[in-house]
């Protein structure tokens, strides 16, 4: 920068002023400076600016996996909200395992950001409790979190309940939960959605059979595998609640393989409303977890955290942390039947 200043015959301060536009500079010197900068191929050093300013105008989204479409869509939404304000979003990966997630978190990396949206999957409440950081933080995730953090989540129980109720109303009697788990509101996504399934049965005065809870990891191959298993075991079922759209895609593949027609023989509902789910064959009925609401709220929370000053993000002595739940909504497409009546 001093090179530019020298070439333009001014001080570095003036160069800085031209670049930031914070102070008025005569048109004459401005053009001289701009010329000099262009000639020298000068590039502002953002690292230095950030150090000086104590701000970076950048928010990080830390996700467990780069390659899950859910996070890609979330990132795109957040970027769209941040861009008009001249703020930036960068995405970092915390890692595929609980250990990696922890290690990522321990690293002082996010000192580099004004705030961090942390998508929690593998970490436990205890892990998070150890996490002392002064960077404004908002947690995204479905399990129980320490109360002292701001936290945004979906309405997993409500969404699954809605979906299951619809299946019941369309005549389904034996609804398998692929990706199911021990029902619980606080133990993560799978237990919460399974709870919704159970509650919907209760609402309808029907029995939720534990034998229809099919455990499966939330990866690509598992949905198909799960269907193969229940078919092989001769378990009767006339509908599937897949706890994620990814699992649902596998379920559809498995059903096709088994010669079962959707929705005539078996109805299917997913959860997440991924963009790609519109294109499954048949088009997937699913639960929309309130993506837009979720993204908006997460940023709003982060902004108030940033506003009340970095440096006391963790001790939370100031305001009470906020917890918001985005409302879920049922999206009916072609893998379910019409409601009777």
Q: List residues binding DNA (CB under 7 A).
A: 1-2, 9-14, 16-17, 19-20, 22-26, 28-30, 43-45, 48-49, 51-54
Nearest CA among 158, 207, 203, 211 for reference residue 185? 158
Pairing, β 267-269 against β 213-214: unpaired
Cβ proximity to DNA, 9 vs 309, nearer residue? 9
- Choice between 183 and 223, CB closer to a copy of itself: 223
Residue 311 Cα to chain centre, angstroms: 25
Q: In the window 224-243, what residues touch a copy of itself (CB under 8 A)?
A: 224
Q: Terminus-to-terminus CA distance in the chain, angstroms? A: 74
Closer CB to DNA, residue 49 or residue 333? 49
Partner that binds at residue 28, options DNA, a copy of itself, none, CB closer than 5 to 8 Å by kind = DNA
Name the β-bridge partners of 287: 330
- For residue 167, the number of C-alpha atoms closer than 13 Å in the C-beta half-sphere is 37
Q: Least separation, in Å, of the C-beta of 295 and a copy of itself?
A: 12
Shortest separation between residue 114's beta carbon and DNA, angstroms:
15
Q: Which is nearer to DNA, 108 or 307 (CB)?
A: 108
* Burial bucket for residue 26 (CB in 10 Å: 0-12, 13-18, 19+): exposed
Joined together, the tokens standing for residue 318 give: 């100031």
Q: How far is the CB of 114 from a copy of itself (least distance, A)?
A: 12
Query: In the complex with DNA, which residue's Cβ is closer, 28 or 84?
Result: 28
* One of 2, 27, 41, 341 touching a copy of itself (CB under 8 A): 41
Q: Please give the structure tokens belonging to residue 291.
A: 């993506």
Question: Closest CB to DNA among 10 and 178?
Answer: 10
The footprint of a copy of itself on residues 48-87 (CB under 8 A) is: 48, 50-51, 56, 60, 65-69, 71-73, 75-76, 79, 83
Instruction: State the binding partner of 16 from DNA, a copy of itself, none, CB within 5 to 8 A by kind.
Output: DNA
| 187 SS3 class | strand
214 φ, ψ to 5°? Answer: -110, 110
**Residue 176, helix vs strand vs coil:** strand
CA distance to 88, 163, 213, 334, per residue, from 266 (Å): 45, 14, 16, 12
Tokens of 138: 């908002």
Length of the chain: 341
* Rounded CA separation 130/135 (Å): 14
User: Residue 221 binds which one of DNA, a copy of itself, none, with CB within 5 to 8 A depending on kind?
Assistant: a copy of itself
Residues within the interface to a copy of itself (CB under 8 A): 41, 43-48, 50-51, 56, 60, 65-69, 71-73, 75-76, 79, 83, 88-93, 95, 108-109, 111-112, 132-134, 220-221, 223-224, 246, 249-250, 252-253, 256, 275-276, 278-283, 314
């Amino acid at each position: 920068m001093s090179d530019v200043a020298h070439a333009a015959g001014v001080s570095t301060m003036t160069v800085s002023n031209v670049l930031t536009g914070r102070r008025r500079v005569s048109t004459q010197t401005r053009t001289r400076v701009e010329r000099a900068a262009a000639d020298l191929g000068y590039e502002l050093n953002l690292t230095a600016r950030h150090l000086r300013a104590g701000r970076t105008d950048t928010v990080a989204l830390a996700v467990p996996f780069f390659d899950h479409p859910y996070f890609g869509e979330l990132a795109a939404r957040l970027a769209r909200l941040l861009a008009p304000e001249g703020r930036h979003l960068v995405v970092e990966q915390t890692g595929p395992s609980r250990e990696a997630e922890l290690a990522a978190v321990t690293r002082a990396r996010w000192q580099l950001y004004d705030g961090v949206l942390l998508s929690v999957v593998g970490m436990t409440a205890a892990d998070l409790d150890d996490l002392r950081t002064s960077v404004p933080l908002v947690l995204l995730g479905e399990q129980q979190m320490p109360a002292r953090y701001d936290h945004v989540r979906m309405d997993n129980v409500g969404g699954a309940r809605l979906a299951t109720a619809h299946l019941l109303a369309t005549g389904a009697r034996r609804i398998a939960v692929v990706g199911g788990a021990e029902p619980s509101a606080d133990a993560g996504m799978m237990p919460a959605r399974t709870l919704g399934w159970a509650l919907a049965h209760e609402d309808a005065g029907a029995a939720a059979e534990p034998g229809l809870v099919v455990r499966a990891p939330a990866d690509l191959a598992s949905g198909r595998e799960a269907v193969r298993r229940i078919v092989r075991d001769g378990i009767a079922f006339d509908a599937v609640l897949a706890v994620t759209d990814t699992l649902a895609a596998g379920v559809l593949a498995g059903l096709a393989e088994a010669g079962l027609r959707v929705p005539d023989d078996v109805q299917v509902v997913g959860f997440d409303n991924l963009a790609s789910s519109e294109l499954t064959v048949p088009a997937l009925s699913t639960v929309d977890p309130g993506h837009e609401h979720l993204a908006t709220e997460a940023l709003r929370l982060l902004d108030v955290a940033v506003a009340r000053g970095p440096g006391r993000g963790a001790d939370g002595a100031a305001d009470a942390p906020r917890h918001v739940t985005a409302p879920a909504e049922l999206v009916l497409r072609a893998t379910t039947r019409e409601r009777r009546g």
